Amino acid sequence: MSSKKELFLLLLSDIIFVNLSWSIYYYIRIESGWIHFTNPPSFIAPMILVFSYWLIFFYFFGLYKHWFVRSRFDEFTTLFRAISIGCLILFFAIFLDDYYKEAKIVSRFLILIYWGLMIFWVSLGRVIIRGFQFRMLKKGYGLRNTLIIGSGLKAREVKEMIFSYPKLGYKFSGFVSIKEDANGEDEIGLLKDLQDIVAKNSIDEVIIASDHKYEELIISTLNVCSGLNVCVKIVPEVYEIVSGMVKSEQVHGIPLVEVKTDLMPFTSTIMKRIYDIIISVSFLFVLSPLLILIALLNLILFKKVFVVEEKLGRASKSFKNIKFYTNDSGLSLFLCKLWLDKVPQLINVFLNQMSLVGPEPEKVEVAKKLTSEIPYYLRRMKVKPGITGWAQIKQGYYEKSEYYVKKLQYDFYYLENMSLMLDFKIILNTIILIFSFKQK
């Protein structure tokens, strides 16, 4: 089952069972006569509001993530924790509601009944969906074509797991050999032909299970798979697991580390774009008098208002990056310290060329140079560049070429941990930097 179909079923389940829980709770609280209300609250409007509340709450707890081959117990405990915290917040909301409506104090304790209803019904919905998924997988529907890179002991262990546990959803498609002269059993090609093999066999998952050092192997695999909508997983070295260098998931005794090629879930991508539009339009409108004043001062003092440079954005597509013109004058230094020279980039954000948060947009010639020197540099182009970002607040804009590798480490940290919460953290840190008058 694809992640989009799974998301649809989860949302459908929550629409049914969250609203069913509310309906039963409403009957007990309002229609049962236990509590006297001078003006009983309506049914429909609060139900829509409460469902929207749970939808946002479940989203931030990761309950709409693709739960492929993950523990169902982990899903239930996450659901239990989300509902418990959410009901605790609702308890205080109901307390205030009762206080203003002078209802009997017993009403606020009914939240325990609501908590139980939510745990039972929403969990039941998840059980139904996961049961349906398992039955389909056992029958061979929705299996993910899986390619194993390697042919040693690790690779054979992964293949055995795939055949032994079909409910995990993997379908073994063959081995890809690292050695040029290899021609073993179930080998369907060589690493240098990976892109053609993935396309020809409609591969959904690639598992790197090499017995040898695999730094370059991982980089080359990611470069191929990043644009093909293919999930990449790695069987890590024992040292990496013991030392805590990687966080792995045990899948029937085999540790697997997932390297995200799809950096943000579909829902997060949509929400990120929505707040990009809202914030860029709002700031451009609110700051328009100040922006006009800066433009006039630039025109009078420097005969030049903007600097427009060609930069590379997502998927290495070029765009015209807009900033206020600055030099070494007092006005320019003031603009830079308050990040006001970057405000015109909100136009790029509105045009979907940039985001509020992301890696710094790079000049075309610099990007070409770094691509030839650093094999994994292109992964940075998986997302839109940002006005601010993890590298910008940690290292700044002013570093020279010898600092690019360090800067890329910050960028890749952001790429591997992309979330709306991290974006929010970066924006808060940016605001602190602005009001501390630290030059970027």
Tens digits of residue pLDDT in 72-81: 777 888 899 8
Angle, vertex CA 425, rays to CA 423 and CA 4, nearest 5: 35
Domains of the chain: 3-138 (no CATH), 144-259 (3.40.50.720), 266-435 (no CATH)
More reliable by pLDDT, 25 or 214: 25
Q: What gap in Å lies between CA 325 and CA 335, rounded to an integer?
A: 10
| Statement: residue 389 has pLDDT above 80 | yes
The answer to whether residue 239 scores a pLDDT higher than 50 is no
Instruction: Measure the CA–CA gap between 187 and 204, rounded to whole angstroms.
Output: 17
Asked whether the predicted pLDDT for residue 357 surpasses 90, the reply is: yes
Mean pLDDT of the 135-162 span = 82
Predicted pLDDT of residue 294? 93
Q: What does the alpha-carbon distance between residue 194 and residue 49 come to, in Å, rounded to a whole number?
A: 49
Taking a C-beta distance cutoff of 8 angstroms, is the pair 128, 13 a contact? yes
Output 356 or 106, whichever has higher pLDDT: 356
- Identify whether the C-beta of residue 292 lies closer than 8 Å to the C-beta of residue 282: no
Q: What is the CA radius of gyration of the chain?
A: 27
Cβ neighbours for 274, distance < 8 A, ≥ 6 positions apart = none
- Asked whether 64 and 11 are in contact (CB, 8 A), the reply is yes
Residue 244 CB neighbour total at 10 angstroms:
7
Cα→Cα distances 356→59, 278, 283, 439, Å: 21, 11, 12, 19
Helix (H), strand (E) at residue 60: helix 44-60
Beta strands in 129-181 (DSSP E): 144-149, 170-177
Question: pLDDT averaged over the chain?
Answer: 81
Of the segments 57-66, 168-177, 368-377, which one has the largest average pLDDT value?
168-177
Distance of CA 330 to the CA centre of its chain: 41
Q: Which residues contact 256 (CB under 8 A, 6 or more apart)?
A: 207, 233, 234, 235, 248, 249, 250
Which of the four pLDDT bands, split at 50, 70 and 90, describes residue 154?
Answer: confident
Average of per-residue pLDDT across 204-228: 74
Q: pLDDT, tens digit, for every residue of 243-265?
A: 344 455 655 556 677 766 666 76
Q: What is residue 241's predicted lDDT score, i.e. its pLDDT?
A: 41
Q: What is the mean pLDDT of residues 192-219?
A: 80
Burial of 47 from C-beta contacts in 10 A (0-12 / 13-18 / 19+):
middle
pLDDT of residue 334: 87
Side-chain-facing half-sphere of 251: CA atoms under 13 Å: 27
Q: Nearest-CA neighbor of 268 among 417, 86, 388?
A: 417
Does pTM top 0.75 for this prediction?
no
